[in-house]
Amino acid sequence: MFSYRHAFHAGNHADVLKHTTLIAIAQYLAQKDTPLSVIDTHAGAGLYRLDGDFAHTSGESLDGIARILAVDPATLAPALQAYAQAVLAFNPGSRLRTYPGSPALMLGLLRPQDRLRLFELLPQDARSLTGNMLQLQENKSVQVLTEDGFVGAKKFLPPPDRRGLLLCDPSYEIKTDYGKVVALVEDSLRRFATGCYAIWYPIIGRQEAHDLPKRLKALAAKAGKNWLHATLTVKSGKVQTLPDGQVKRPGLPASGMCIINPPFTLHAQLEAALPQMVQLLGQDKNAGFTLESTGR
């Protein structure tokens, strides 16, 4: 079974892609004074200790955010610079100990007039999320809900001021998650057609994973909305059999972001950032990226 619980993979290559994209979107949307509503359907714990049991066991941040922070920030594309700065804000002295998940990163960007709605169904993670947000929120509007984000997000659409960003990045531990993502986006577009929808997904050997971006693009086209699709591959996804007969599984080799109603600036930002992600995060000759959007 494929497993993608946030704590095990904090700061890995998939987070670099997801959070670079998410920050670029939020920064664009925050340029207007009108309040913005942000919904995270699968928020996790919000903050992760990279020397904690989960992240330390996997060590995936060493091949992710640690590689980004190891280079001169002046050489990074603007979107990657913004991402690196956002992570360093949670690490005094620039020593990487803590990785901010999507809730913490969004909270750092939102203004007092904005709203952040966080869904987390796992009780343990929801308790950690609540504590982390209380520690960080200051005078900002944050609500943590121990509910199924696939269902609960609907009650916040459309947002009062008709400006919103919804992030959906479930674990995809079970195949039905793919269908639930499509159903959520379809329903959300009916409720709030002008919202920005950011969907992260793993690129693995499942037909459902292969079909998901196609289905999301079809929903966008049907609704007459623009879309952007970016993928980042860092290594081969093939299972290897070692000389001693042991089977070596590669872990997650690639992931993608599909955005409906993306900011018009996002394509150019990722066009500059993705080649650097490949250069810095690539682990073998299979490393690469794709980037496509409506009208390109």
Residues annotated within the binding site are 19, 42, 102, 120, 148-149, 169
Catalytic residue, from 40, 63, 125, 169: name it.
169
DSSP 6-46: GGGGTTSHHHHHHHHHHHHHHHHHTTSSS--EEEESS-TTS
Query: Rounded distance, CA 233 to CA 210, Å?
Result: 14
At 50, list the tokens.
């990279």
The residues, any chain, with a CB within 8 Å of residue 285's CB and separated by 6 or more, are none
CB contact set of 103 (below 8 Å; sequence gap of 6+): 40, 43, 44, 46, 116, 118, 129, 132, 133
Q: Is 161 a catalytic residue?
A: no
d(CA 19, CA 24) in angstroms, rounded, equals 8
End-to-end CA distance of the chain: 36
10 Å Cβ neighbour count for 295? 6
Query: Quick one: which of 240, 236, 241 has its CA closest to 252?
Result: 236
**CB neighbours of residue 274 within 10 Å:** 23
Feature table: binding site for S-adenosyl-L-methionine: 19, 42, 102, 120, 148-149, 169
The CA R_g of the chain, rounded to the nearest whole Å, is: 18
Q: Give the bridge partners for 166, in sequence order.
A: 39, 197
Q: Could you please report the per-residue DSSP string of 82-119?
A: HHHHHHHTTSGGG---EEE-HHHHHHHH--TT-EEEEE
Q: Known catalytic residues?
A: 169
